[in-house]
Chain A
Amino acid sequence: MATFAQDDDSVVVVIGSGAGGGTLANELCQRGVNVVVLEAGKRESSATFINDEWGSFGQLAWLDKRTTSGSWRVAKDFPNLPAWVCKTVGGTTTHWAGASLRFHEHELRARTTYGAIKGANLLDWPLTLKELEPYYGRAEDKMGVTRTHDVPGLPGNNNFKVFYNGAVKVGYKDCNTGHMAINSRPRADRGSCQQYGFCFQGCKSGAKWSTLYTEIPAGEKTGKLELRTECHVARIEHDAKGKVTGIVYFDKDRKEQQQKARVVCVAGNSIETPRLLLMSASNKFPDGLANSSGQVGRNYQRHTTGSVYATFEQPVNMYRGTTMAGIVTDEAHNNPKRGFVGGYELETLSLGLPFMAAFLDPGAWGPQFTEAMDNYVNMAGLWIVGEDMPQESNRVTLHATEKDQWGLPVPNVHYDDHPNDVAMRNHAYKQSRALYESVGARMVYIVPPYPSTHNLGTCRMSAKAKDGVCNKWGQTHDVANLFISDGSQYTTGAAENPTLTIVTLAIRQAEYIAKQMNTRAI
């Protein structure tokens, strides 16, 4: 591993080591660029991951104080946990389920396709699917996505069997074990899936792709990557011309440090990324860095989600094997006749006994709740993931008074469902209920959204500087050597789990940054 001096202003600083930051860092190193990665969390490994839901949550989750507001139920149930994301090397790629789906063409043109939707701040992406396709291909190859590049699909578990039979019964045509970044065969020096379950707790076999044991070590091997763990970035600094010059951070001993940089790339996930830009406000940029549009922190999207669990006469043991074991894509298209624009996916999901208690119906108690828990082994489950509407008022802001352990203002996450989100969720609940009832469900449990795992859109891409924060390369409109490198770039959310597209954008961005550096444009 390389080490760079703190006053070395030739390096690219990448903040965050997850899907966006970890991939970008490695791709830059492969192109000969020197990179310093700042990661707020510690470095774990498959050996240190724990098959224990609460234990692992304490090990991996981002638990710094956050506050919430708005009418979403998460604000009531989990007022200080708006998002279920990670603070660890590899970021949320340690916790993700592995679903890796490409956008549909129409989803990149949401404003054009859906039209003007009242209350929604829709905008077309400044990108086409054709531009993304070669990078999607490279991302899928890198991640070993099943059903691409001749990688076979994964075998379905018991939870999938229930899901599949129900899907067939209600007439769905596209149900299979999905496109998953989980090795179904040994590949790329990693073994194949052993069906432990516990995909959300860090993969013990390393079969599931994570930047922790792919991109980060590959970057380190080039001798051009320095990873600094337990370093929390507090501020991005700039010069009189408005170019960024480096960052200020707190190291693991809570000491303030700095790192000079030629380019700064922010990939802290869609709450920390806008928070950092807002905290970097200065006389020159009084509303925060790269915020001349006023869009930093706005258009926060979290996907229209929800879960449905059902109990049956006989055992399912849904927790055995991959957490997200299959998908129905029949509802992913745009068909406004259903009463909403955009689409959604249905994906199997399981929770262990401890998390089922916490998430089945947060705050619930009494016999109805305990009856569901009594039937835990006979339970099957799925998760809904659909496109939610970007709204300007759904946003990440800095709390006026609350401070975190560094003395920095905590982020507040405000979210209200859009009527389109509610209509979509209700449709998905109805379809899911029918799916499970068609195969003999005794009870069906409609479960509200968990804290957000898909956090998107808070520094969105736009063709015009007035509409968003960054251009089609993730380069901020206001500051040429400042990049957004995570899901914050999302112009609109689409119906697909976001990691594949974040990785795709990171590969593409690395190519662009390297070229811009070579031509001295930045």
Chain B
Amino acid sequence: MSTPTLLSLVAKPGLSRRQFLKGTGFIIGTLWVSSSALIALAPSRAWALELKSLDEHTGQALLTLTRRIFPHDKLDDAVYALVVKDLDAEAAGAPETKDLLSNGVAALDKAAGGDWLGLAPDKQFEIVQSMAGTPLFGKVRGKAVVSLYNNELAFAHFGYEGNAFEHGGGYILRGFNDLKWLSQPSDGASPKPFTG
């Protein structure tokens, strides 16, 4: 099971191409100005994902494919890149996964008449729809439904507070019952908290 150790994706300032020579490629980006929850967590707005197994084109296509499968308009590419990171890591240890992903992206390109990434988003989506049920789709969806939503960046974006024990303790003194837009239940139904 993957655990959220994913801030490592966000690079230190001053990264250079030379740092990535050992890998098979890399994907770089800059956190969107609108991604304020993510910027608050990151040491810098620049981020980079070094690929260990997949080539850059496959990696880029998988990032966009993940976005088409789970389209969150306001969710930064950096979070989608975490899915590519996990797919790439699996491919590094499993040649059959590497083939599945590489061949799958090649099939996307073929269906697009050459370059699926070059199509407009709605055209990309149409091709993805037609490929639902393929092994590529199943692999990416299955990985993404875990990876995309199980990391600190996603937690910050969606407003989920994650590990309560490590981040401030129980909610008894920090908002477990702070909802004000409905009536308070009776004391009989919901007794006062014990904070002694």
- Give chain A's interface residue range (CB within 8 Å of chain B): 35 or more
Chain A residues near B13 (CB-CB < 8 A):
none
| Chain B proximity mask over A174-200: 1 for CB below 8 Å, otherwise 0 | 011100000011000000111111100
- Give chain B's interface residue range (CB within 8 Å of chain A): 35 or more
Residue pair B160, A377 in contact (C-beta under 8 Å): yes
| B residues with CB within 8 A of A | 1-4, 69-72, 74, 132, 141, 145-146, 148-150, 154-155, 158-166, 169-172, 175-179, 181-185, 188-194
14 contacts between A and B (CB under 8 A): A51-B162, A55-B3, A153-B189, A161-B182, A164-B185, A194-B170, A198-B165, A319-B161, A320-B161, A320-B175, A321-B171, A353-B149, A365-B141, A377-B158
Residue pair A51, B166 in contact (C-beta under 8 Å): yes
| A residues with CB within 8 A of B | 50-55, 57-58, 152-158, 160-162, 164-165, 175-177, 184-185, 192-198, 204-205, 313-317, 319-321, 326, 352-354, 356-358, 363, 365-367, 369-370, 373-374, 376-377, 439
Extra contacts besides A162-B179, A196-B171 (19): CB < 8 Å: A51-B163, A52-B3, A53-B150, A54-B2, A54-B150, A152-B191, A154-B191, A158-B177, A175-B189, A194-B170, A195-B176, A315-B179, A317-B161, A317-B178, A320-B175, A353-B155, A353-B160, A353-B162, A376-B160
Determine how close the nearest CB of chain A comes to the CB of B178; give it in whole angstroms.
7
Kindly identify which residue among A50, A326, A363 contacts B190, using a CB–CB cutoff of 8 Å.
A326
Interface of A is mostly: loop
Chain A residues near B170 (CB-CB < 8 A):
193-196, 205
Answer whether A161 and B160 are a contact pair too, CB < 8 Å, given A54-B3, A54-B146, A353-B154.
no
Complex alpha-carbon distance, A278 and B1, angstroms: 32
Chain A residues near B179 (CB-CB < 8 A):
158, 161-162, 314-317
Answer whether A367 and B185 are a contact pair too, CB < 8 Å, given A52-B4, A195-B170, A377-B158.
no
Determine how close the nearest CB of chain A comes to the CB of B5; give it in whole angstroms.
11
Determine how close the nearest CB of chain A comes to the CB of B151; give it in whole angstroms.
9
Kindly identify which residue among B72, B171, B189, B194 contacts A320, using a CB–CB cutoff of 8 Å.
B171
Chain A residues near B188 (CB-CB < 8 A):
176
Considering only CB atoms, which chain A residue lies closest to B174 in the complex? A320
Residue pair B69, A366 in contact (C-beta under 8 Å): yes
Chain B residues near A193 (CB-CB < 8 A):
170, 172
Residue pair B148, A165 in contact (C-beta under 8 Å): no
Residue pair B158, A373 in contact (C-beta under 8 Å): yes
Chain B residues near A376 (CB-CB < 8 A):
158-160
Complex alpha-carbon distance, A358 and B160, angstroms: 15
Determine how close the nearest CB of chain A comes to the CB of B142; give it in whole angstroms.
9
Complex alpha-carbon distance, A434 and B90, angstroms: 45
Determine how close the nearest CB of chain B comes to the CB of A41; give it in whole angstroms.
16
